[in-house]
Every structure is written in C-alpha cells, then in structure tokens.
Amino acid sequence: MSAAAEERWSGSTLDSWRDLVLTDERRELAETVRRQFAGGFPLEAVRACFDGGSQPEGAWTAVSGAEYPSIGLPESAGGLGTLVDTAALLEAAGEVLVSAPLLATVMSLQTLARAGALPLEPARPAALAVADGPVAGRLVVLDGVLAERLTVVVPRERGVTVAQFDTADLGPAEEHRHVDPSRPVAVFDAGEVPPLSHADDPRPLDAVLAPARTALAADLTGTAAGALDRAVRHALDREQFGRKIGAFQAVKHRLADVYIAVERARSLTRAAAVALAGPSASSGTELSLLAKAAASEAAVDASRALVQVLGAMGMTFESDAHLFFRRAQQTAPFLGSAAACYRRAVAARRGVPA
Amino acid sequence: MSDVLAEYADFLAGVLPGDYAERVDHYRHDDRLRTDFQVAQFEAGWLVPDWEPGLGGRSLAPGDALSVRIEGARRRVPRIHNVQGVGVVAPGLRRFGTPQQRDRLLRPVLRGDEWWALGMSEPGSGSDLASMRTQARREGADFVVTGAKIWTTQAHQSRWATLYARTDPDARRHAGISCLILDLHSPGVDIRPIPRAAESVDAFCEVFLDEVRIPAENLLGPLNEGWRVASESLEHERDMIWVGNWLEIEQAVDPLLRSGALDDEQLTALGRLLADSEAIRFTGLRSVFERMAGREAPEFLVLKAFGSETAQRATRFAMEAAGPAGLTDPQLIEDRIESLGATIYGGTSEIQRDIIGERVLGLPRNR
C-alpha cells in the first residue's frame, strides 16, 4: 500500500478529522451570516436583480464590512481562522443565496494565498478564472461584474502561473445576467495585458485550485440545503388527496434522496477543508475535486426537486424555486463539471496527471 | 501511530499467520482461523475494546475503540462468524440481562463458543416488524410460545436466539412484545435452512415454534418492552457499522484504480464511487464526533441506504469493468449477489427513506 493510501486508511489519524463537526464558534458564524443576509438581503432582493439588472446596493459593502473575505486567509494578510471557517461561512451564505461577490472574492483570494508571495486585498471585490491554454485570453468569470481584481490561473507544462489583473486594465467586460442576475457572469479578455503581479507554482493545477474548489463546493452545498429546506416546507404545507403531500412516498423518498445528496456533499466539503487546513493536505486535492463534483450534483438535483415538488408554482416568477435553480445552474459549471472533477479525482488518487 | 494502535498491531502480529497480509483472500474462508481469532481478541481485550476487561474489552474511550475498529478493517482481520452474537446480542445481554443471564451467557457469546440467532422477522412481518404474531403465554414458571420466524440468520448453527413474541395479546403494535432467550435445542423448535441464492449469502432459516416452553427467568429486559430491548441492543453497533461498508467499497474499487484500461465514462463512474466511499467515511466520522460532543447526529441515518447502495454500485461496476473475462472469476458474482442483500436486511432501502423523511425531515408518516 502506498504511503498516501496508508494515511487514508489509517485510524491513527482520526483526531485530525475532529473539525468535520462544527465548533460552537463556527456554528455561531454560520448563524450570524444566515441571519444577516436573510434579514438584510432576503430573496426579494435576489428577485429584484431581474428588474434592476444589478446586485442589490449595499450587499458587497455588508460582506466587506463584516470582513468575511478575510476569513481563512493567512494572519500575515490580516486573515483569521482556516479554510474550515471559510467553508462554514460560504455554506451559510449559499443557503440564503447571498447576492454579492463573496464566493468569487474568496476563490480569488484563496488561490492567490495558495500560490503565495502575491498581494492580498480582501477589501476589493475580486474573481477567479482558469485559462484554457498557455495564454489567459478570453475568460468566462463567475460573479465577475463587480470585480476590481481578477486572478487567472494559467496551466504550464509543469505547474501553473497565477496572475493577478486590475480589471480596469482589461477593458469593459461583457456582462451576462440571463441565467442568474444575482450572480452575473462577466467575460474578460486578458489577451496581452500585463498583470499587476504573478507567481509560478510548481504544483499541479488541481492542487493549486483545491482551496477555491472547496469554497465553491461549500457555496453549492449551502444552495442545495436551502432548496431542500424549502421543498420540505412545501411538502409539509401542501395538501392533495386529503393528505400532506410529504406523506406520499413518491415525494418523501425523493426528498430523502436529496438529503442524502446534501449530506454527501457536506461531508466531502468539510473533509476537503479540514484536509487542506491541516496535516492531511496530501488528500486535500482529491477531496476538493470530489466535493466540487458532489456539491454541483446536490445543488442541481435539490433545486430541480424543489421545482417539481412545488408543481406549477415552481414555474412561476414569484416562487423561490427558480432562484435556487438558476443559482445552481450558474455556479455548478465552474472549475470543472462534476464528470470532469470525478475523473480528475481518480487521477489524483492514482498519482498521475489528469 | 498512537500507543493503542501500536499495541493492537503487536497483538495482530502475534496471533495472525505471518503471510496473512499477502494471502488475506485465502484466509477469508479459513473458519478455524476466524474462530481462534475471535477467542484471542476476547482474551486480549480487543474484541469490544470500549468494554471492561473480562468482557472482551480494555475500557478504551470511544474514539480509540473506533480507531481500533478502523485499523482492523484496514488490515482485513478475520471476520467474526456469528456477527450478530457479538454485535447485537452481547450488548443487549450486558444492558438488560439479569446477573444470572450475564454470568451464564455473555462469555460464551463473546468468545464465539455459543452462537446466537435473532428471532425477529416473521412470514407475515418483514418490513412491518411490529405486526408480528408469534405468541408467548404465561403458564406457571414458563412462557409457552407458538409461531414462526423467518430469515433467521445462522439459526441452524446457533444454540440460542433472542426471540421476540407477543406477551400481551391486547396491546397494539410495538407495545406488548417481549424478548425471550430461547434455547434452540428445546422441544417444539423446528429449524429449516432456506436454500440461498449464492454461497456468499449468510445462511438463513425458517424457525417453527410449537408450544415451546421457555422458563420465565429467560425473559430479557422488562415484560412487554421487547421493542426497546431490540432497538437499544442495535445501538452499540450503530456507530461502527459504516466502517465495514466503507471497507467493502474500497476493496471493490482498489483493483480498478490500478487497472489502466478504463474509458472516460468508466473513470467518471469510478470517481463517483470514490466520492461515495469517502462520503460514507466522513459522514460516519461526523456522526461519531457529534455524538461524542453530546449532540444528535441525524446525518447518520443516511448511512444504511447510502452505504448499501454504494456497495451495490461498486460490485456492479467491478463486473462491468471486468467484461466477459470477469465471468471466469467466481468471486465477482459472489460479491455482486451478496451486495444485493445489503439493501434488504436490517431495514430495506425503502424503509430507510421513510425513516429519513419522517425522522430527519419531519414529514408525516405514510401509514
């Protein structure tokens, strides 16, 4: 058995996984985030993005004012806590569909911190992109419309280059708000523009992206959990044939399957965060890929189930179902499809390049 | 490695054959080794490490006991043959037994000297266990039992059974059931093994009971509280059972990870299995840690359905990946058929989804 496999199997490392369960402080952080955003920016604010064409005024200020993007950054950059705290934060934010570029900024900062030796500016909204080839080129960026900084990971023959751009240097971005206007997509062309800063990292692409993928997984897990919660509430409320529809096994079992998918995603996401934050970092790359794949599936499946359980209501503008579904569809494709992430995880386990 | 695990490793090195690790598939069928190993584990206090010395344990903390269990699974130590004896009956006897019952019965079940069957399912009561009809009426110093049990694993090889029967004919459903310790050699007990779909399926039986006399002192736990005896007896293993599941899946997946000839679709399916396997491990650990912290762990309830269904997907994938050549390896089909049972016994996947829906999500009962 290889050393990595030995480590994975061994019960002797049990204690290093204690942070799989949230400490009281992390529970409190999650609760604060949920309360703050569900109160200040309820789903009506998300729905309003369809009319106003932009994210609600003040959402980023609230995120930035609470210094959420600093959570999980190194202390030297003014950060506090670890990636486990980041995951708890983002799961809570994903659950209430926070409509500010918190996830995008965290993914950018975490990737810069991972590569090291690059300036971190947690007060600025930012976003992350991965280049297709050796040149940055045209980049489709999640929640990039407000970004002042753009982090681009460029794969090299060996390792990657991580470059940070000032979006003001890149020229106006194309904006696409038709899938989820509360988390719009921006398209930048970084063609021949010189970056503000850049660093080479000899590690494989998936190792460099591991914290960002874990962050993305946490957000999607939260969105899945939020959709499940709404579906359950409707199943407890709606009556047909003289019974609550949640009493019917066809509905109950579908929701049980969604619950399984949510817990699968949650366990893998927490495990990835714990691994990357601690001494088991070697398994963190694989776990981050599995977590991202599982969370994408959970978010899409849960929000699809929400639409179905709501029936015709699920197809209306007023229902929350399409907000969750759009959020899941908008977010899931980034940093690799579920299928691609599964394949790359196999490669990581085998210790061969993907 | 922690001190506890180092000590456990020393113990294993002392009792297992020198070539155990290399020939584990061969030793898997060595019943003598399985028997001897259980006794050795009992004597040395590694059988139920969180229990007290003298009862197969060494009073380890739950976390250390789990580490030992994982380490044992990782090294694929010989499996306990009469697994329900150690996993279900012994915790029930320890929790509910009278001093006389404990003195007489605990040591032999833990050593594997006396095997036990669980008399629960009936021909008309499978998933709907609370509808059981086997009757036990009090007659002088005895209960007199008439009825039938089915799917009773290893009954024909066992000396005893925990027999669940109605002791209050007027009580409804879960109320009015008691747990009786049945000597399977008693007159009026007729045990008929049921032919199995594959060798790997644990031997199960029909057990017919015709006016069988059971001494009243063989009542286990309070009269009419058999339902509680059953559920609390199952609790001890509850935190551990995923370890075996996770191990089975890792074992099914491991050779495929080393095989080079997989196309993209197969690699995706393999990655999905890795995710399932790791999710079982980390969900299991989460629930253990939550319980240690004194909190509820509802996520634990996904493990039965999710674990058994993943094991099925793993054996399916192993057969598909092997192609026609796989048909020359009898182990593949044995594992595949064995895995089909996992979504049935111990509460079907359908019942598990009812449980998740009702107990975790709070949905109304469907019956």
The amino acid occupying position A271 is A
Please answer yes or no on whether A20 and B282 come within 8 Å at the CB atom.
Answer: yes
Question: How distant is the Cα of B267 from the closest Cα of chain A, in angstroms?
Answer: 5
**What is the CATH architecture assignment of A205-350?**
Up-down Bundle (1.20)
Of A244, A259, A345, the CB nearest to B364: A244
pLDDT digit string, tens, across residues B247-289: 888 888 888 888 778 899 999 999 999 999 999 999 999 998 9
CATH class of B116-223: mainly beta
CB proximity A275 to B under 8 Å:
no
Distance CA B53, CA B37 (A): 17
B50 touches chain A (CB under 8 A): no
* pLDDT computed for residue A1 by the predictor: 38
Region B95-110 average pLDDT = 97
The pTM is what?
0.94
Give the mean pLDDT of B139-162: 97
Question: Looking at per-residue confidence, does B170 or B214 come out higher?
Answer: B214
B366 Cβ under 8 Å from any chain A Cβ: yes
Residue pLDDT, tens place only, B16-74: 999 999 998 889 889 999 999 999 999 999 999 999 999 999 999 888 888 899 889 88
Q: From the CA of A343, how many Å to the nearest CA of chain B?
A: 5
Domain ranges of chain B: 3-81, 116-223, 239-360
**pLDDT at site A5:** 46
**The one-letter amino acid at A267:** S
Among A9, A18, A345, the residue with its CB nearest the CB of B74 is A9
User: Tokens representing A205?
Assistant: 């692409």
**Per-domain boundaries in chain A:** 205-350
The single residue of B114, B206, B232, B237 carrying the catalytic annotation is B237
- Above pLDDT 70, what percent of chain B? 100
Contact A267 B272 (CB under 8 A): no
| Inter-chain CB proximity B363 and A287 less than 8 Å | no
Residue B237 pLDDT class (50, 70, 90 cuts): confident
- Alpha-carbon span A19 to A6, nearest angstrom: 21
Question: Complex ipTM, two decimals?
Answer: 0.94
Q: Does B293 touch chain A (CB under 8 A)?
A: yes
Whole-number pLDDT of residue B1: 54
| Subunit contact B282:A17, Cβ cutoff 8 A | yes
A315 Cβ neighbours under 8 A, 6+ residues apart = A307, A321, A322
Q: Side chain identity at A47, as an amino acid letter? A: R
B128/A contact by beta carbon, under 8 A: no
Dist. CA A143–CA A151, nearest whole Å: 13
Which of A205-209, B127-131, B147-151 has the least mean pLDDT? B127-131
Neighbours of A161 (CB within 10 A): 19
The answer to whether residue B206 neighbours chain A at the CB level (below 8 Å) is no
* Residue, of B28 and B97, whose pLDDT is higher: B97
Which of residues 2 through 41 in chain B touch A, CB cutoff 8 A?
Answer: 2, 5
Over its length of 354 residues, how does chain A's per-residue pLDDT go in tens digits? 344 445 554 545 688 899 999 999 999 999 999 999 888 888 988 898 988 778 888 899 999 999 999 999 999 888 999 999 999 999 999 999 999 999 999 999 999 999 987 889 999 999 999 998 877 788 999 999 999 999 999 999 999 999 999 999 998 899 999 999 999 999 999 888 999 999 999 999 999 999 999 999 999 999 999 999 999 999 999 999 999 999 999 999 999 999 999 999 999 999 999 999 986 667 999 999 999 999 999 999 999 999 999 999 999 999 999 999 999 999 999 999 999 999 999 999 988 766
Residue B167: strand, helix, or coil? coil
CB B57 within 8 A of CB B51: yes
- Classify B239-360 by CATH class: mainly alpha
Q: What does the block give as tokens for A221?
A: 């897990």
Residue B243: pLDDT band (50, 70, 90) is confident
Catalytic, B225? Answer no
Query: B361 contacts in A (CB within 8 Å)?
Result: 232, 246, 252, 255-256, 259
Whether A350 and chain B come into contact, CB under 8 Å, resolves to yes
User: Which H or E run contains B177?
Assistant: strand B177-183
Which residues of chain A does B313 touch, with a Cβ-Cβ cutoff of 8 Å? none
Contacts by A132-141, CB closer than 8 A, 24 or more apart: A135/A191, A136/A163, A136/A165, A136/A190, A136/A191, A136/A193, A137/A189, A137/A190, A137/A191, A138/A187, A138/A188, A138/A189, A139/A187, A139/A188, A139/A189, A139/A190, A140/A185, A140/A187, A141/A104, A141/A173, A141/A185, A141/A186, A141/A187, A141/A188
Q: Which residues of A touch B358 (CB under 8 A)?
A: 252
Q: What pLDDT shows up at residue A55?
A: 85
**Selection from A308, A267, A256 nearest residue A91 by Cα:** A267
Q: Which amino acid is at B250?
A: E
- Minimal C-alpha gap between A115 and chain B (Å): 26
Q: Which of A17, A236, A264 sits opposite B285 (nearest CB)?
A: A17
* Residue B265 CB partners (closer than 8 Å, separation 6+): none
**B142-153 and B160-166 as β-strands: parallel, antiparallel, unpaired?**
unpaired
**What pLDDT was estimated at residue A3?**
44
Closest CA to B88 of B70, B57, B110, B63: B110
Q: Residue B330: pLDDT above 70?
A: yes
- Ranking B39-48, B241-250, B313-322 by mean pLDDT, the lowest is B241-250
Longest Cα–Cα distance of chain B, Å, equals 71
User: CB B286 to CB A259 under 8 A?
Assistant: no
Residue A50, min C-alpha distance to chain B (Å)? 32
CB-closest option in B67, B270, B282 to A270: B282
Nearest C-alpha neighbor of A259 from the set B353, B101, B11? B353
HEC sequence for chain A: CCHHHHHHHCHHHHHHHHHHCCCHHHHHHHHHHHHHHHHHCCHHHHHHHHHHCCCCCCHHHHHHHCCHHHECCCHHHCCECCHHHHHHHHHHHHHCCCCCCHHHHHHHHHHHHHHCCCCCCCCCCEEEEECCCCCCCEEEEECCCCCCEEEEEEECCCCEEEEEEEHHHHCCCEEECCCCCCCCEEEEECCCCCCCEEEEECCCHHHHHHHHHHHHHHHHHHHHHHHHHHHHHHHHHCEECCEEHHHCHHHHHHHHHHHHHHHHHHHHHHHHHHHHHCCCHHHHHHHHHHHHHHHHHHHHHHHHHHHHHHHHHHHCCCCCHHHHHHHHHHHCCCCCCHHHHHHHHHHHHHCCCC
Least confident of A267-276, B201-210, B241-250: B241-250
